[in-house]
């Protein structure tokens, strides 16, 4: 029985990584509504990143919808019929009802396929923090680890997925109700950049504020050096919201000062970017325990 991973679009993985691992990975996407039209969030295939960020830069505020149980049911049945053992690494339940949709679908499948081997995991992670887990698990599958060993590793390490987000455009936090209009106006005038993180409940929290883009990018690097535990085994995922040049700057800075296993640069999907806006930079890695502040 083959072990397959089901990953959702909020994992923000590079499309080429997905396509190079189709014998291990299957995908499922959120829905994004822009000006009354629904788009399937499938890592930039249906709605290109360039087109999506063009909408954001015009000030259009997309609406996002969780994955429903029916879509999960279709995916789960497909893998049951193929005889696959399936692990769904799910977007945090602290930010979406998607995990609950997956659990409902699993129960429905088990009524029809009592022997189905489906494991649904609430990663308590979002975006690149979810994606870095997937990258590690894909390596484990390729190395021949058993499903039991993989699940054990996920449960032991998902709360060590440190992920940090440096927001550039305060107006999107204002539109999403995370900060007041007054704070957005003053913060923009003073070039204040909020730093967000995901806590142990899988919820997005403001961790700090810094002044200026360079300082916000340096903050991400400092958190990496503070919380990584084994540099030679550390995989870093850098996510960007249509600001590749800034992501590459951080990548080069990391390579210059640290010897890590791998650094992956990826563009943030439409679901995540809808809430934080363009020009956000994020960084994730498996390190020590998350900070809760």
| Contact criterion met (CB below 8 Å) for 22 and 137 | no
Strands (E), the chain: 3-8, 25-28, 31-34, 37-40, 63-65, 85-90, 118-122, 161-166, 192-198, 204-211, 235-240, 262-267, 281-286
Is the per-residue pLDDT at 181 higher than 80?
no
Residue with tokens 């497909």: 78
Same domain, 141 and 262: no
Closest CA to 67 of 18, 36, 100: 100
pLDDT at residue 25, rounded to an integer: 98
Q: What mean pLDDT do residues 270-277 have?
A: 83
Q: Are residues 172 and 245 in the same domain?
A: yes
Domain stops at, among 109, 126, 158 = 158
Q: Where does a domain end: 158, 185, 208?
A: 158
HSE of 178, CA atoms in CB hemisphere, 13 A: 18
Are 98 and 225 part of one and the same domain?
Answer: no
Structural domains in the chain (count): 2
Three-state secondary structure call for residue 83 = coil
Domain boundary among 110, 135, 158: 158
Residue 88 and residue 80 in contact, taking contact as beta carbons nearer than 8 Å: no
The owner of tokens 């455009």 is 169
**Rounded average pLDDT over 109-130:** 96
Inform me whether the pLDDT recorded for 185 exceeds 50.
Answer: no
* Neighbour count for residue 251 (Cβ, 10 Å): 17
186 and 72 housed in the same domain: no
Query: Is the model's pLDDT at 285 over the cut of 50?
Result: yes
The answer to whether residue 293 sits within a structural domain is no
Range of the domain at 189: 160-286
Q: Are residues 138 and 15 in the same domain?
A: yes
Q: Is 291 a member of any domain?
A: no
Which residues contact residue 211 at a Cβ distance below 8 angstroms, ignoring those fewer than 6 apart? 190, 191, 192, 193
On whether residue 292 sits in a domain, the answer given is: no
**Residues 26 and 32 sit within 8 Å (Cβ to Cβ):** no
Are the beta carbons of 52 and 277 closer than 8 angstroms?
no
- Arithmetic mean of pLDDT over the chain: 91
CATH of the domain at 115: 3.40.50.10170
Task: Report residue 168's pLDDT band, with 50, 70 and 90 as the boundaries.
Answer: confident
pTM: 0.94
Print burial letters for 39-62: b (CB count within 10 Å at least 16), e (below 16).
bebbbbeebebeebbebbeeeeeb
């Amino acid at each position: 029985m083959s072990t397959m991973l089901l990953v959702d679009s909020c994992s923000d993985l590079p499309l080429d990584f997905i396509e190079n691992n189709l014998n291990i990975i299957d995908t499922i996407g959120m829905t994004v509504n822009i000006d009354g039209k629904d788009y399937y969030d499938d890592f930039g295939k249906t709605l290109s990143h360039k087109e999506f960020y063009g909408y954001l830069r015009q000030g259009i505020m997309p609406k996002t919808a969780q994955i429903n149980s029916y879509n999960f049911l279709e995916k789960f049945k497909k893998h049951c019929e193929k005889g696959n053992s399936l692990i769904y690494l799910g977007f945090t339940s602290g930010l979406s009802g998607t995990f609950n949709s997956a659990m409902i679908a699993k129960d429905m499948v088990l009524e029809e396929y009592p022997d189905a081997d489906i494991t649904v995991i609430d990663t308590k992670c979002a975006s690149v923090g979810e994606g870095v887990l997937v990258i590690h698990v894909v390596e484990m599958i390729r190395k021949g680890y058993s499903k039991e060993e993989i699940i054990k590793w996920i449960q032991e390490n998902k709360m060590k997925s440190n992920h940090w987000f440096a927001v550039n455009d305060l107006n999107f936090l204002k539109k999403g109700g995370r900060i007041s209009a007054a704070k957005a106006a003053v913060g923009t005038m003073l070039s204040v950049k909020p730093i967000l993180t995901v806590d142990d409940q899988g919820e997005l929290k403001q961790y700090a504020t810094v002044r200026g883009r360079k300082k916000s990018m340096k903050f991400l690097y400092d958190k990496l050096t503070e919380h990584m535990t084994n540099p030679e085994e550390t995989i870093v995922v850098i996510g960007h919201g249509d600001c590749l040049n800034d992501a590459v700057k951080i990548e080069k800075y990391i390579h210059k000062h640290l010897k890590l296993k791998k650094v992956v640069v990826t563009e943030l999907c439409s679901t995540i970017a809808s809430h934080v806006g363009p020009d956000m930079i994020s960084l994730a890695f498996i390190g020590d325990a998350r900070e809760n502040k």
